[in-house]
Amino acid sequence: MSVNMKCYDTTPCIRCFACMVGCSAENRLRLQRDDYIGVEKSDQEKMPQTYHLTPKRKEFGTFPDSRQVTAFHHCNHCEKAPCLDICPVDAIIRRPGGEVVIDHEPCIGCSSCVDACPFDVPVITDGKAYKCHGCYDRVENGLKPSCVNVCPTEAMFSGAKEEVLKEAYKRASLYTKVTGKEHIVYGADKVNDYVGSLLWVTIIPKEDLDAYQLDTDPERTVMEARNFAKSAGAVGAAAIVVGSVGHLIYWIGKRKEKVQNEEQNHG
Protein backbone atom coordinates (compact mmCIF):
# COMPACT_ATOMS: atom_id res chain seq x y z
CA MET A 1 0.00 0.00 0.00
CA SER A 2 1.37 3.40 -0.96
CA VAL A 3 1.64 6.26 1.52
CA ASN A 4 -1.40 8.51 1.41
CA MET A 5 -1.40 12.26 1.52
CA LYS A 6 -4.10 14.89 1.92
CA CYS A 7 -3.87 18.37 0.48
CA TYR A 8 -5.86 21.46 1.37
CA ASP A 9 -5.81 24.15 -1.28
CA THR A 10 -6.71 27.55 0.18
CA THR A 11 -7.52 29.12 -3.21
CA PRO A 12 -10.64 27.21 -4.31
CA CYS A 13 -11.91 26.81 -0.73
CA ILE A 14 -15.29 28.57 -0.39
CA ARG A 15 -15.44 28.27 3.44
CA CYS A 16 -18.53 26.06 3.36
CA PHE A 17 -17.10 23.94 6.20
CA ALA A 18 -18.61 20.82 4.68
CA CYS A 19 -15.31 19.09 5.50
CA MET A 20 -15.79 19.76 9.19
CA VAL A 21 -19.40 18.60 9.17
CA GLY A 22 -18.45 15.54 7.12
CA CYS A 23 -15.67 14.70 9.57
CA SER A 24 -17.90 14.86 12.61
CA ALA A 25 -20.77 12.98 10.89
CA GLU A 26 -18.40 10.21 9.86
CA ASN A 27 -16.99 9.91 13.37
CA ARG A 28 -20.48 9.74 14.86
CA LEU A 29 -21.31 6.94 12.42
CA ARG A 30 -18.15 5.16 13.54
CA LEU A 31 -19.31 5.37 17.16
CA GLN A 32 -22.68 3.89 16.13
CA ARG A 33 -20.95 1.20 14.10
CA ASP A 34 -18.75 0.22 17.01
CA ASP A 35 -21.72 0.14 19.40
CA TYR A 36 -20.33 2.86 21.64
CA ILE A 37 -23.38 5.08 21.22
CA GLY A 38 -26.93 5.03 19.86
CA VAL A 39 -28.23 6.99 16.84
CA GLU A 40 -30.22 9.57 18.84
CA LYS A 41 -27.43 10.31 21.28
CA SER A 42 -24.84 10.60 18.54
CA ASP A 43 -27.08 13.06 16.66
CA GLN A 44 -27.99 15.21 19.63
CA GLU A 45 -24.84 15.46 21.73
CA LYS A 46 -22.09 17.88 20.89
CA MET A 47 -19.22 15.41 21.40
CA PRO A 48 -16.17 17.59 20.75
CA GLN A 49 -14.04 14.49 20.30
CA THR A 50 -15.75 13.81 16.95
CA TYR A 51 -14.51 17.05 15.39
CA HIS A 52 -11.07 16.34 14.06
CA LEU A 53 -11.08 19.30 11.72
CA THR A 54 -11.90 22.56 13.43
CA PRO A 55 -11.89 26.23 12.43
CA LYS A 56 -9.48 28.77 13.90
CA ARG A 57 -10.68 32.23 12.97
CA LYS A 58 -8.27 35.12 13.09
CA GLU A 59 -8.42 38.79 12.21
CA PHE A 60 -5.51 39.45 9.93
CA GLY A 61 -3.93 42.76 8.93
CA THR A 62 -4.75 46.30 10.02
CA PHE A 63 -7.93 48.29 9.22
CA PRO A 64 -8.90 49.19 6.49
CA ASP A 65 -6.80 46.42 4.91
CA SER A 66 -7.86 43.81 7.42
CA ARG A 67 -9.57 40.53 6.66
CA GLN A 68 -10.81 37.52 8.54
CA VAL A 69 -9.11 34.25 7.87
CA THR A 70 -10.40 30.90 9.02
CA ALA A 71 -7.54 28.52 9.37
CA PHE A 72 -8.04 24.79 9.70
CA HIS A 73 -6.81 23.02 12.80
CA HIS A 74 -6.09 19.35 12.29
CA CYS A 75 -3.57 16.56 12.69
CA ASN A 76 -0.80 16.76 10.12
CA HIS A 77 0.21 13.08 10.39
CA CYS A 78 3.84 14.11 10.84
CA GLU A 79 6.66 12.08 9.37
CA LYS A 80 8.34 12.03 12.82
CA ALA A 81 5.13 12.07 14.85
CA PRO A 82 6.18 13.14 18.39
CA CYS A 83 2.87 11.84 19.79
CA LEU A 84 3.65 8.38 18.49
CA ASP A 85 7.12 8.41 20.01
CA ILE A 86 6.04 9.60 23.44
CA CYS A 87 2.94 7.42 23.97
CA PRO A 88 3.89 5.16 26.91
CA VAL A 89 1.34 2.44 26.10
CA ASP A 90 1.96 2.27 22.34
CA ALA A 91 -1.64 3.30 21.73
CA ILE A 92 -0.59 5.52 18.81
CA ILE A 93 0.33 3.61 15.70
CA ARG A 94 1.12 4.36 12.08
CA ARG A 95 -1.11 2.62 9.55
CA PRO A 96 0.40 1.20 6.35
CA GLY A 97 -0.91 4.29 4.51
CA GLY A 98 1.05 6.59 6.85
CA GLU A 99 -1.91 7.77 8.97
CA VAL A 100 -1.03 8.33 12.63
CA VAL A 101 -3.91 6.74 14.55
CA ILE A 102 -4.86 6.51 18.23
CA ASP A 103 -6.10 3.08 19.30
CA HIS A 104 -8.61 3.91 22.03
CA GLU A 105 -8.54 0.47 23.61
CA PRO A 106 -5.05 0.76 25.20
CA CYS A 107 -5.12 4.59 25.56
CA ILE A 108 -5.00 5.56 29.26
CA GLY A 109 -5.52 9.30 28.69
CA CYS A 110 -2.17 10.29 30.18
CA SER A 111 -1.95 13.40 27.94
CA SER A 112 1.62 12.66 26.84
CA CYS A 113 0.58 13.09 23.19
CA VAL A 114 -1.12 16.40 24.04
CA ASP A 115 2.12 17.71 25.54
CA ALA A 116 4.30 16.45 22.71
CA CYS A 117 2.19 17.72 19.78
CA PRO A 118 3.46 21.12 18.59
CA PHE A 119 0.17 21.72 16.73
CA ASP A 120 -2.01 21.30 19.87
CA VAL A 121 -4.08 18.62 18.17
CA PRO A 122 -5.00 15.72 20.50
CA VAL A 123 -7.85 16.32 22.92
CA ILE A 124 -8.66 14.29 26.01
CA THR A 125 -12.29 13.41 26.57
CA ASP A 126 -13.55 10.84 29.10
CA GLY A 127 -10.01 9.61 29.76
CA LYS A 128 -9.11 8.93 26.12
CA ALA A 129 -7.15 10.94 23.56
CA TYR A 130 -8.79 11.84 20.26
CA LYS A 131 -7.48 13.22 16.99
CA CYS A 132 -7.82 12.81 13.23
CA HIS A 133 -7.10 9.26 12.07
CA GLY A 134 -7.04 10.16 8.41
CA CYS A 135 -10.18 8.03 7.83
CA TYR A 136 -7.76 5.11 7.50
CA ASP A 137 -10.66 2.65 7.56
CA ARG A 138 -12.22 4.32 4.50
CA VAL A 139 -8.89 4.74 2.70
CA GLU A 140 -7.87 1.12 3.25
CA ASN A 141 -11.18 0.11 1.66
CA GLY A 142 -10.69 2.24 -1.43
CA LEU A 143 -12.71 5.29 -0.31
CA LYS A 144 -11.60 8.89 0.10
CA PRO A 145 -11.32 10.45 3.58
CA SER A 146 -14.62 11.96 4.66
CA CYS A 147 -13.46 15.59 4.49
CA VAL A 148 -12.14 15.09 0.97
CA ASN A 149 -15.25 13.21 -0.08
CA VAL A 150 -17.64 16.04 0.82
CA CYS A 151 -15.56 18.96 -0.47
CA PRO A 152 -17.59 20.54 -3.32
CA THR A 153 -14.72 22.49 -4.91
CA GLU A 154 -11.86 20.01 -4.80
CA ALA A 155 -10.11 22.29 -2.37
CA MET A 156 -9.29 19.09 -0.55
CA PHE A 157 -7.89 16.18 -2.43
CA SER A 158 -6.04 13.03 -1.46
CA GLY A 159 -4.36 9.96 -2.83
CA ALA A 160 -0.93 8.45 -3.22
CA LYS A 161 1.73 10.82 -1.90
CA GLU A 162 3.55 11.19 -5.23
CA GLU A 163 0.32 11.97 -7.13
CA VAL A 164 -0.91 14.48 -4.55
CA LEU A 165 2.44 16.27 -4.47
CA LYS A 166 2.53 16.42 -8.27
CA GLU A 167 -0.93 18.01 -8.36
CA ALA A 168 -0.15 20.32 -5.43
CA TYR A 169 3.04 21.69 -7.03
CA LYS A 170 1.21 22.09 -10.33
CA ARG A 171 -1.52 24.16 -8.67
CA ALA A 172 0.99 26.20 -6.64
CA SER A 173 2.93 27.00 -9.78
CA LEU A 174 -0.24 28.06 -11.60
CA TYR A 175 -1.40 30.33 -8.74
CA THR A 176 2.04 31.92 -8.53
CA LYS A 177 1.94 32.65 -12.25
CA VAL A 178 -1.63 34.03 -12.23
CA THR A 179 -1.55 36.08 -9.03
CA GLY A 180 2.09 37.08 -8.95
CA LYS A 181 2.24 35.93 -5.32
CA GLU A 182 4.53 33.06 -4.51
CA HIS A 183 2.49 29.99 -3.53
CA ILE A 184 4.04 27.12 -1.64
CA VAL A 185 3.07 23.61 -0.58
CA TYR A 186 3.42 23.78 3.19
CA GLY A 187 4.51 20.47 4.72
CA ALA A 188 5.70 18.85 1.50
CA ASP A 189 9.32 19.37 2.46
CA LYS A 190 10.75 18.89 5.94
CA VAL A 191 9.19 21.56 8.15
CA ASN A 192 11.78 21.08 10.92
CA ASP A 193 13.64 18.31 12.73
CA TYR A 194 10.92 17.86 15.35
CA VAL A 195 8.11 16.85 12.97
CA GLY A 196 9.83 16.24 9.64
CA SER A 197 7.56 16.54 6.58
CA LEU A 198 3.78 16.25 6.81
CA LEU A 199 1.17 13.97 5.25
CA TRP A 200 -1.39 16.80 5.28
CA VAL A 201 -0.06 19.56 3.07
CA THR A 202 -1.48 23.00 2.31
CA ILE A 203 -1.24 25.11 -0.84
CA ILE A 204 -0.96 28.69 0.30
CA PRO A 205 0.53 32.08 -0.64
CA LYS A 206 3.82 32.24 1.23
CA GLU A 207 2.88 35.60 2.70
CA ASP A 208 -0.25 34.07 4.27
CA LEU A 209 1.50 31.41 6.33
CA ASP A 210 1.01 33.45 9.47
CA ALA A 211 -2.62 34.25 8.67
CA TYR A 212 -3.39 30.55 8.26
CA GLN A 213 -1.43 29.84 11.45
CA LEU A 214 0.88 27.42 9.69
CA ASP A 215 3.89 27.15 11.94
CA THR A 216 7.20 27.19 10.08
CA ASP A 217 9.02 25.87 13.13
CA PRO A 218 6.59 23.72 15.11
CA GLU A 219 8.27 22.43 18.22
CA ARG A 220 8.04 21.81 21.91
CA THR A 221 11.48 22.93 23.05
CA VAL A 222 11.04 21.45 26.47
CA MET A 223 10.09 18.06 25.02
CA GLU A 224 13.26 18.10 22.95
CA ALA A 225 15.14 18.91 26.15
CA ARG A 226 13.34 15.97 27.78
CA ASN A 227 14.49 13.65 25.00
CA PHE A 228 18.03 14.97 25.38
CA ALA A 229 17.88 14.46 29.16
CA LYS A 230 16.75 10.86 28.58
CA SER A 231 19.74 10.13 26.34
CA ALA A 232 22.14 12.04 28.56
CA GLY A 233 20.65 10.31 31.61
CA ALA A 234 21.29 6.86 30.12
CA VAL A 235 24.91 7.79 29.35
CA GLY A 236 25.30 9.45 32.78
CA ALA A 237 23.83 6.46 34.64
CA ALA A 238 26.15 4.08 32.78
CA ALA A 239 29.12 6.34 33.56
CA ILE A 240 28.16 6.46 37.25
CA VAL A 241 27.89 2.65 37.46
CA VAL A 242 31.24 2.16 35.69
CA GLY A 243 32.83 4.96 37.78
CA SER A 244 31.48 3.56 41.06
CA VAL A 245 32.63 0.00 40.35
CA GLY A 246 36.00 1.34 39.15
CA HIS A 247 36.38 3.51 42.22
CA LEU A 248 35.47 0.67 44.59
CA ILE A 249 38.03 -1.67 42.99
CA TYR A 250 40.65 1.09 43.11
CA TRP A 251 39.77 2.01 46.69
CA ILE A 252 39.98 -1.60 47.93
CA GLY A 253 43.35 -2.07 46.19
CA LYS A 254 44.68 1.15 47.66
CA ARG A 255 43.37 0.21 51.10
CA LYS A 256 45.11 -3.21 50.97
CA GLU A 257 48.32 -1.51 49.93
CA LYS A 258 48.03 0.98 52.79
CA VAL A 259 47.30 -1.72 55.39
CA GLN A 260 50.26 -3.81 54.13
CA ASN A 261 52.57 -0.79 54.37
CA GLU A 262 51.37 -0.04 57.89
CA GLU A 263 51.92 -3.69 58.94
CA GLN A 264 55.42 -3.64 57.46
CA ASN A 265 56.24 -0.41 59.24
CA HIS A 266 54.98 -1.78 62.56
CA GLY A 267 56.51 -5.23 61.95
Least distance to other proteins, CB of residue 248, Å: 7
Quickly list H helices, 87-211.
112-116, 136-139, 146-150, 161-179
Nearest residue (CB) to other proteins, 65 versus 90? 90
Helix (H, G, I), strand (E, B) or coil at 157: strand
Which residues of the shown chain bind other proteins in the complex (CB under 8 A)?
A: 88-91, 105-108, 110-112, 114-116, 120, 220, 222-223, 225-226, 229-230, 232-234, 236-237, 240-241, 244, 247-248, 250-251, 254-255, 258
Using alpha carbons, list the distances in angstroms from residue 197 to 202, 216, 218. Answer: 12, 11, 11
Helix (H, G, I), strand (E, B) or coil at 215: coil
Nearest residue (CB) to other proteins, 120 versus 207? 120
CA distance 114 to 126: 15
Least distance to other proteins, CB of residue 200, Å: 20
Least distance to other proteins, CB of residue 71, Å: 17
Other C-beta atoms lying within 10 Å of the C-beta of residue 159:
18
Nearest residue (CB) to other proteins, 56 versus 255? 255
Nearest residue (CB) to other proteins, 43 versus 120? 120
Helix (H, G, I), strand (E, B) or coil at 57: strand
Nearest residue (CB) to other proteins, 120 versus 217? 120
Longest dimension (CA), the chain: 102
Using alpha carbons, list the distances in angstroms from residue 201 to 117, 243, 246. Answer: 17, 50, 54
Least distance to other proteins, CB of residue 157, Å: 31
Least distance to other proteins, CB of residue 238, Å: 10
